Amino acid sequence: MKIKLSLACGDYDRTRALIDGTVRIQGIEFIPVILSSPERHKRMLKWEEFDVCELSMSSYLVAHEQNRDYVAIPVFPHRRFRHGYLFVREDSEIRHPLDLVHKRIGVRRFQNTAGLWLRGILEEYYGVERKNVHWVTEDDEELDIVFPPGLDVRRIGPEDKNLDQCLLKGSIDALIYPQETLSLNQKDGTRRLFDNYAAEEMTYFKNTGIFPIMHTVVIHKRILDRYPWVAGEIYKAFCHAKKECYKYLRDQRKSSLVWHNHYLQEEMGMFGGDPWPYNLKDNEKALNTMIGYSLADGLIKKKPQLDDLFVSSTLEAEKDEQ
């Protein structure tokens, strides 16, 4: 008899075979719960509602240090370059990252993964130190954190609707956001700081080899305590779902892009055949970079060992899936 586990995740091409049942898991029946990232993360971080959950990687680092009741597997279903998600007003005089020094920059939450990456990238590659910026958040932090001395972090005022409106009316000077702003490219709206953001992101990748991790997948400890074997099976299922995704992508007939195969081959070549590796070895640099940024932000106080972040049996299972 199969055990039933709730799976909260996004509906991506990489996860769809799990959601629709194409990939079946030995001994497990998933009950998919498809939610937006903000709702999914809040419900897991505050109330631990799900058995298996796609979760913010930045928040997971905080949760791990706080010994919360879930552990990750080396699956990273959401990644995104972030240079294209730094916005300023259309009429702003801010044209270069260094123009952000001593300015007010909005972030949805300080522990948000998009913000973690961009704060680190701005300081490491553009000379914008996080302590030389005034940070303004839209929402409460989902896990309790204590900001280090010298870091200015405050909430938007009660009269402010959201950070996009704050940017438009001038109460903040720039905005780091997980998705495009509603006012992007609108009349008297906002624009990206990096006009050719794709070129900026490609340069970053060529220089670092990092495709930034946004999310991981966690399993609640109550499940692992009772069924320790599920971690390996769930890990393999995510790997198989990704293979189904790549199989689908290689069929030109299923895409509306005219030069689909050209773009696919170009991208696969750039990333060594797999832009979405589910293992520790290929993600070591990205994870260590995130840990360094999290320490610098004061989100975590102690550097964790990479092996300790993930269910140990999945680190063995990954060898069979490569």
How many domains, in total, are found in the chain?
Answer: 2
Q: Tell me, yes or no, whether 192 and 228 share the same domain.
A: no
Q: Tell me, yes or no, whether 271 and 314 share the same domain.
A: yes
Q: Tell me, yes or no, whether 235 and 275 share the same domain.
A: yes
Q: Tell me, yes or no, whether 128 and 165 share the same domain.
A: yes
Among 216, 186, 187, 202, CA closest to 306:
216
Torsion angle of C-alpha atoms 202, 205, 211, 214, degrees rounded to 10: -80
In the chain, the DSSP E strands lie at: 3-9, 28-34, 52-56, 70-79, 86-89, 104-107, 134-137, 152-155, 174-176, 190-192, 213-220
Q: Tell me, yes or no, whether 217 and 314 share the same domain.
A: yes
pLDDT higher than threshold 90 for residue 68: yes
pLDDT band at 123 (very low <50, low <70, confident <90, very high): very high
Alpha-carbon radius of gyration of the chain: 20
Picking from 181, 208, 235, the residue at the C-terminal end of a domain is: 208
Higher pLDDT, 17 or 161: 17
Q: Write out the residue range of the structural domain in which residue 20 sits.
A: 3-79+212-321
**Exposure of 304 by Cβ count < 10 A (0-12 exposed, 13-18 middle, 19+ buried)?**
middle
Question: Which pTM was predicted?
Answer: 0.96
Picking from 192, 208, 224, the residue at the C-terminal end of a domain is: 208
pLDDT higher than threshold 70 for residue 322: no
Question: How confident is the model at residue 321, as a pLDDT?
Answer: 65
Backbone angles phi, psi at 64, to 5 degrees: -65, -45
Q: Tell me, yes or no, whether 88 and 192 share the same domain.
A: yes
Question: How confident is the model at residue 319, as a pLDDT?
Answer: 63
DSSP three-state, residue 143: coil
Q: What percent of the chain has pLDDT over 70?
A: 98
Question: How confident is the model at residue 159, as a pLDDT?
Answer: 83
The string of pLDDT tens digits covering residues 4-56 is 999 999 999 999 999 999 999 999 999 999 999 999 999 999 999 999 999 99
Among 84, 82, 83, 52, CA closest to 70:
52
Q: Tell me, yes or no, whether 221 and 203 share the same domain.
A: no
- The mean per-residue pLDDT over the stretch 149-163 comes to 90
Q: Tell me, yes or no, whether 147 and 221 share the same domain.
A: no
Q: Tell me, yes or no, whether 176 and 270 share the same domain.
A: no
Q: Tell me, yes or no, whether 273 and 257 share the same domain.
A: yes
Picking from 208, 242, 259, the residue at the C-terminal end of a domain is: 208
pLDDT band at 130 (very low <50, low <70, confident <90, very high): very high
Q: Tell me, yes or no, whether 89 and 195 share the same domain.
A: yes
- The mean per-residue pLDDT over the stretch 253-257 comes to 91
Q: Tell me, yes or no, whether 91 and 196 share the same domain.
A: yes
User: Where residue 316 sits, what CATH number does that domain have?
Assistant: 3.40.190.10
